[in-house]
Amino acid sequence: MCGIIGYIGGGNAAENVLEGLRRLEYRGYDSAGLAVIGGNGKISVVKRQGRVEKLAPLITEMRGCVGIGHTRWATHGRPCDANAHPHSAGAVTVVHNGIIENYAELKAAFIEKGETFFSETDSEVLAKLVNKNFSGDILTALAAAVKVVKGSYALMAICENTQAIAVAKSKSSVILGFGDGENFCASDEPALAGKCKNICSLEDGDIALITRDKIEIFDSKLKPVKRKLRPNVAVSASLDLCGCPHYMLKELKEVPASVKNTISAFYDVEGELKKALDGVNRIIIVGCGTAYHAGLLGKRYFESFARVPVEVETAGEFRYKDPVMTEKTAVFAISQSGETADTVEAARLALSMGAKVVAVTNAPYSQLTRLASVVVPVAAGPEICVAATKSYTGQITALYLAALAFAGKKTAELEKMPGLCQKVIEDIDINTLAQMCARSNGVYFLGKDLDYAVALEGSLKLKEVSYIPSEGYPAGELKHGTLALIDGNTVSVALMFDKALAGKCENAVEQVLSRGGRAAVITNDTEVYNNFSKRCEVLLLPECDKYLSPLISAVVVQAIAYETAVILGRDPDKPRNLAKSVTVE
């Protein structure tokens, strides 16, 4: 979380950094700031609580060829001007993404020596540490500083009178951009889209020195190392809203392409995946948030198609549960960004225990792909909205295909799904249901089996973008507790895409209606439609294979969340307190 960017070259550093921050804002938007080394060698800093755009009027007078910037998702210290990055100490100024776990003891030691701190952040100790080790050389100062640090960092440091940016990385990601007479460093690829020809990723422990004409990379002992260059394929067109008012809507409309492209991409890795999974007798799926919800569906696919036992865990829990794994265990690690700290660490743990790691990710050059035994690509394309939409449907598609491949089975059903998703996006009118949600005190999503997994995602999405309290639960559980919450101010949304289970879920809707609760049904079963259409809001979707129905029901629940947020005047692309790419624990 948080985005950092550095620029050095012939252009205006403040403008270049600001542009990078605009592109990285999806990673955090509590506050933003930037620092530029001016023509006199002195560093000027501007920072503000709030959105990146607040910096625009503050940089008009800033001149200089070296700059670093930060858009924050606060971990330590509330969002305010003082806690915004950059942080300075003496001649040194830094921006930091990550968490310094031993900051309290480092800070106490500085305070004992009479140092003053100007923020409540963990990051300010980094500025103090680099400054303490600084005697004219920013690279050695940075290398010495990070030696005493525990935690995660993508760290950029500049110092007065030096035309260079020093960068250090541990756990949080950093990419370097090789331009023509200008160079860049950033948290993530979208910041550099269209800006330079080649990029490379730093590895943990790396330190880099970036000047206008050169990028040098070293290990933690400052021995030179080489990192593989790759073409900078990120395109700035991906940042285009294409006429949509929000990225969330644009990305929802891209669900059909996400499913289609993920299918095509899968065939390139199918052989490699089958080989990697040869002899595997147990699967563990890990992910966080929406990726975890995709994992719940993945479990059903592997267990039904291949009869292999599967466990699904949230990555942050799995890591600390002393899990049992052998070389016959495959761990599927799902992360849109491939940088989710808990998921990356869970994958590392699995590898250290001899398990095979399969990355399911939308980011082909992420940390997760670099450590995985094999990568099953999610070809959703860049997802800018903080709330995941098309990456979720891409993950479901990837898991479905992986399970089929593992089982040695084939089906043509999936090929129909991009078209069906498109039809649902065009034909299904969710406005009435969104109005009901917007006027409610709580929305409960219920379903059985696969529908329950989508219910969890529908609920999470609604919470994320509309801030309405919501819960997803198995339809049969209603009478064991949640029924107590049902009244005329709540909406219960039942998903019914499995004919064999519909009757059971119908009972739950009856129970809601008979207690005066408001209800809605989303189904592709005409019998269910006929049963409820006169008594509550019912959305009738096209028929399809039950295992693939989550692809169309997901689109609908995500669209409801979007529409509800818009009705309530929320910004669905940047929900409060959230950020994309959760790179801290």
Determine the residue with CB nearest ligand GLU: 2
- Between 171 and 293, CB nearer to ligand GLU: 171
Query: Which one of 109-117, 119-127, 279-287, 331-339 is the stretch in contact with ligand GLU (CB under 6 A)?
Result: 119-127
With binding defined as CB under 6 A, does residue 28 bind ligand GLU?
yes
E strand segments, 385-517: 442-447, 470-474, 490-496
- Indicate whether 76 belongs to the interface with ligand GLU (CB under 6 A): yes
Alpha helices in 307-430 (DSSP H): 315-318, 341-352, 367-371, 390-407, 417-427
| Residues ≥6 apart with Cβ < 8 Å to 135 | 141
Can you tell me which of 47, 51, 72, 580 binds ligand GLU, judged by CB under 6 A?
A: 72
Q: Report the nearest approach of ligand GLU to the CB of residue 386 (Å).
A: 13
Nearest Cα to 318, choosing from 282, 343, 289? 343
Q: Is 584 in the site for ligand GLU (CB under 6 A)?
A: yes
Q: Smallest gap, in angstroms, from Cβ of residue 302 to ligand GLU? A: 35
Q: Residue 72 or residue 107: which is nearer to ligand GLU going by CB?
A: 72
Among 96, 128, 356, 580, binds ligand GLU (CB under 6 A): 96
> Is residue 48 a contact residue for ligand GLU (CB under 6 A)?
no
Smallest distance from ligand GLU to CB 210, Å: 20
- Does 139 bind ligand GLU (CB under 6 A)? Our answer is no
Gyration radius of the chain over CA positions: 25
Which CB, 146 or 297, lies closer to ligand GLU?
A: 146
Helix or strand run (H / E) with residue 130: helix 124-132
Question: Which is closer to ligand GLU, CB of 72 or CB of 463?
Answer: 72
Other CB atoms within 10 Å distance of the CB of residue 111 = 12
- What number of other Cβ atoms are within 10 A of residue 415's Cβ? 11
Q: Which of residues 351-410 bind ligand GLU (CB under 6 A)?
A: none
Please tell me whether residue 133 binds ligand GLU under the rule CB under 6 A.
Answer: no
Cβ 357 to ligand GLU shortest distance, Å:
25
Q: Is 421 a catalytic residue?
A: no
Q: What DSSP designation does 289 have?
A: T
Which one of 21, 46, 99, 404 is in contact with ligand GLU (CB under 6 A)?
99
Number of residues that bind ligand GLU (CB under 6 A): 17
Region binding ligand GLU by CB under 6 A among candidate stretches 75-83, 136-144, 262-270, 403-411: 75-83
Q: What is the dihedral of CA 232, 233, 236, 242, to 10 degrees?
A: -170
What phi and psi, each to the nearest 5 degrees, are found at residue 194?
75, 5
Question: With respect to ligand GLU, which residue has the nearer C-beta, 72 or 574?
Answer: 72
Contact 53, 67 (CB under 8 A): no
Task: Choose among 576, 572, 582: nearest CA to 251.
Answer: 572
Both tokens assigned to 180: 């023509």
- The reply on whether position 23 binds ligand GLU by CB under 6 A is no
Tokens of 338: 């491939």
Residue (384 or 455) nearer to ligand GLU, CB? 384
> Is residue 170 within the footprint of ligand GLU (CB under 6 A)?
no
C-beta of 384: minimal distance to ligand GLU in Å?
17
Catalytic residue among 2, 185, 437, 544: 2
The answer to the question of residue 169 lying near ligand GLU (CB under 6 A) is no
Identify residue 107 by its one-letter amino acid code.
Answer: K
Q: Is 121 in the site for ligand GLU (CB under 6 A)?
A: yes
- CB-CB contact of 10 with 179 (8 Å): no
Cα 216 to the center of its chain, rounded Å: 29
- Rule CB under 6 A: say whether 123 interacts with ligand GLU: yes
Residues in 544-573 that interact with ligand GLU by CB under 6 A: none
Bridge partners, 474 (sequence order): 447
Q: Which is nearer to ligand GLU, 69 or 98 (CB)?
A: 98
Residue 317 to residue 56: CA distance in whole angstroms:
41
Q: Which of 49, 93, 97, 369 binds ligand GLU (CB under 6 A)?
A: 97
At its nearest, how many Å lie between ligand GLU and the CB of residue 121? 4
* Residue in this structure with the two tokens 């948030």, named with its chain if needed: 289
Q: Is 580 an annotated catalytic residue?
A: yes
- CA-nearest of 494, 461, 489 to 477 is 494
75 binds ligand GLU (CB under 6 A): yes
- The CA distance from 356 to 126, in Å, is 36
Which of the residues 128, 132, 461, 580 is marked catalytic?
Answer: 580
Q: What is the nearest approach in angstroms of ligand GLU to the Cβ of residue 544? A: 41
1 binds ligand GLU (CB under 6 A): yes
Q: What angle do CA 393, 394, 396 make, to 5 degrees?
A: 65
Contact between 314 and 292 (Cβ < 8 Å): yes
Rule CB under 6 A: say whether 98 interacts with ligand GLU. yes
**308: CB partners within 8 A, 6+ apart:** 280, 281, 282, 283, 302, 406
Q: Return the structure tokens found at 519.
A: 């209800």
By annotation, the residues acting in catalysis are 2, 580
Residues found near ligand GLU in the complex (CB under 6 A): 1-2, 28, 72-77, 96-99, 121-123, 584
